[in-house]
Structure 1
């Protein structure tokens, strides 16, 4: 297995994309998410932590410097390790809020994902040293409007898509939407389809979520990984998922064997998107969609 690049969050690369709204970009490094720091007059919200306590400590220090005494909050877009497995560092320093489905994912799937990620190589083992599965301070049902003082941020669960507990973070006054891994730019969509251990990803649900998000026409979309953009960030992923679904279902409905379906769909997608990384996610995506019904 090829050793992964160290998934280090670089807070020095932070850029302001709207007044008092910064993004620490992932710089196309595997297992580094785009991280948000959203300020109001009274409080600052951090969106995602990076993987492990060292990354999260840097994010916390950066956010505290931005906050300059304002209260701190933390939320995570979903439970996967590079997004949430640093939240323990924020305990006592920030209030950690997540939706109920994500809290369930953390508690029930977190330990398994911690072990799975430790199998990705020594650099990840080091990053995960001392990590505990985070426990949120506030678990909410439905949407949650967080008043930061002069700016209200909306935390909104989307239902089943990339995970069962996905949530988006909307900053309405700035027209900014944080999607987590419901959107990643310029790569094959990440399908965590790991039967029998985790089969919560839903290609059809994901498509429906993206249709709804795109219809709202956000001005700025911050994907889980990749470059910040406009609504096209959402529509490009949606269009790829449609393509994936249609190519998979056409073959599934003709009673082809699963291995043949995977091979043919993979060949089609690689021909259409030869420059995209993440080819390893095509096979689990086909498996997921083979199991779903139109």
Structure 2
């Protein structure tokens, strides 16, 4: 249910691979981007055991090159294995994500442990990481003959989302700003976490779509192209519009969620995780 499988690596470009999540729950797509001097690992998997497998693979893949690690955002399956890389890789994230880790990490660890025994088992021994390098809005990482761009997007799926782009290959890693074949994940948990912003998320997707990357690696689901960005933008817009037209008619939020959920499931019958629709409705009900 939660195990990274490093035997299924896919090459996306020269010295650039992804360990696909194969539509397994709580397993992210994990990237490795190489230059002549260093390799950047994108996301860790859930907890120490997964991260140690990723580190072992990354060490072999790097073949003596220096290792860097980054995470697309602070959620447990993306960042909570970072401590396994301590002393082996330089961990760098944006300042908002560093704040998320420090302020929300313990709460999310407790919440995920309540998701069941398999998840709790993977989170045994988790040490919440402290980044080695923290940047503000953007950071250029020179891997040796290849520069990778790390960019904070501002509030969207989380407060500390970042995208990782590889300009020479037109590849973009999005984390959970994008998923393939499922309803967008809205971590809307008032009063504990209300940093997700559907309104800003739409604007972020519009901007990223304008960059027209050739290859988009989502947080979960199959790798695609820029159409994945458009699909998420269009869905979020649809969710916003259907929520707002009902909210503006003074319909109770519970009724809004029921009506919008039924409508969107009918429109997207093949998509997974419809339970996130209600969270999205709650978020958009709070925004203007």
TM-score (norm 1): 0.97
Q: Deviations over 1:131-152 (max 9, x none)?
A: 0111101111120000000000
Deviation at 1:269, TM superposition (A): 0.5
Match of residue 77 from structure 1:
72
Gaps spanning 5+ residues in structure 2: where? none
Match of residue 3 from structure 1:
none
Q: 2:57 aligns with which of 44, 62, 65?
A: 62
Match of residue 160 from structure 2:
165
| 3-state DSSP of counterpart to 1:279 | coil
Match of residue 146 from structure 1:
141
Q: 2:250 aligns with which of 241, 248, 255?
A: 255
Q: 1:12 aligns with which of 4, 7, 23?
A: 7
Q: 2:281 aligns with which of 282, 286, 291?
A: 286
- Take 1:187 and 1:167, find their aligned partners in 2: how far apart are those partners? 20
| 3-state DSSP of counterpart to 1:96 | strand
| 3-state DSSP of counterpart to 1:44 | strand
- Take 1:141 and 1:245, find their aligned partners in 2: how far apart are those partners? 29
Match of residue 87 from structure 1:
82
TM-score (norm 2): 0.99
- Take 2:262 and 2:124, find their aligned partners in 1: how far apart are those partners? 39
- Take 1:193 and 1:151, find their aligned partners in 2: how far apart are those partners? 37
Q: 1:156 aligns with which of 151, 159, 163?
A: 151
- Take 2:269 and 2:12, find their aligned partners in 1: how far apart are those partners? 31
Gaps spanning 5+ residues in structure 1: where? 1-5
Q: Please say if 1:39 is aligned against 2:34.
A: yes
